[in-house]
Structure 1
Amino acid sequence: MKKIAITLLVSLSLAVATPLSSRAQSVADVIQQLVLDYRKLASLKNILGQMYTGYTVLSKGYGAVKAVAQGNFSLHEAFLDGLYLVSPAVRKYPRLTDIINDQAQLVWEYKSASGNFNRSGKFDPDELAYMMTVYNNLVSQSLKNLDALSLIVTDSQLRMSDAERLTAIDGIYLESHNQLVYLRKFNDQAARISWQRSQGAADKQSVRDVYGITQ
């Protein structure tokens, strides 16, 4: 009986011990899994934090670049718009007066010479027509110079710096002055021809008078 009792106790203790051991093992596995899950979560949280930080930096960087770009564009636009405005220094440039005076003198001298040559009777119709062609070309070029000058000294017409406007005005002055010089040379040559023809006619008349030629 004693042996039977001992055997029963051993068997019972083994039967009870087996489920407890398995149960303890299951709890340990769960705990270990939770630890692993927590570590994964922490790692994921860290990764997300780094991603957010990187996005913030990029976003701020893009915003800064955009702001700088917009600022530069605004400055550039303001600078270009400023080139539309004619400064007082340009408007008071002495060459402007010189150009206008030369153009006015050109028109006055051509009209005066043209009238004299027509009344002189020393030029035939073809010669007078050629003279008018020269005069008309000079006047046409003169008007183009004044149109170009008007664009340069008028606001909101051309985008040019002061230096560029002054250089352009100098170019117009040189061209207009050369036109006036050419007109004067042309008129001098025509006047010389008229004088020579007058002298020739006078000489012929003198010869007629000497010899009593009436025709």
Structure 2
Amino acid sequence: MRRILFISMLMICVGFPAQKANAQIVILDIIKAGIKKVIKAVDLQVQRQQNKVIWLQNAQKVLENALSKLKLTEISEWTEKQRNQYKIYFQELHKVKSLITYYKRIKDISAKEARLVHEYQRAWRMVRGDKRFTPREIEYMGKVYLGMLDETVKNIEQLMVVVNSFRTQMTDAKRLEIIHAVSERVDQNYNDLLDFNRENALLSLQRARAGAEQEEVKQLYGLK
């Protein structure tokens, strides 16, 4: 009876990390899909805006060439409409160049998120395969990683809000506010992940036997 109870408790302990691993795989798929969606949307919008910049720059050159051919007397006879039209070209050119800057910043943040996910995958794979950690410790680490991944999902959602905002009403100031906030959170999440991974690696190193096993742990976790 005691043997059956012991085996049952062991299966429960081992089962928890497995459940956490499955949950992380699901969230990881969501994050990957989200990152791909953001990057694809950004690439598409950047291309559209770049095409618009080219069109506006060509239109600007046409106007400038036309103006250069005009005599001084004819320039003085410009109508207000022509003046406004020339002014609008410059305003529109500045606007689309600003949009490209927005999208490039969003894409940079998405790239950081992708690096975060890659680092998570590498660390979680090593932790789960490290026999120096107990099932309960792996379960705890899984909870911490789940929390980090949850924050990553929220960051992706905020980026999509900004991407979609160009089809809705949102001020430039609000867009910049969201982009800046998300960028800071991504940097903080990434640093937290690296710190947590290092803590786990050092714990594993402390438990390793002297000599070859310690060197193996250092090589595995990239410790110096």
Using the size of structure 2 for normalisation, the TM-score is 0.48
Using the size of structure 1 for normalisation, the TM-score is 0.49
Which structure is richer in relative contact order (CA contacts within 8 A, separation 6 or more)?
2
Larger Rg: 1
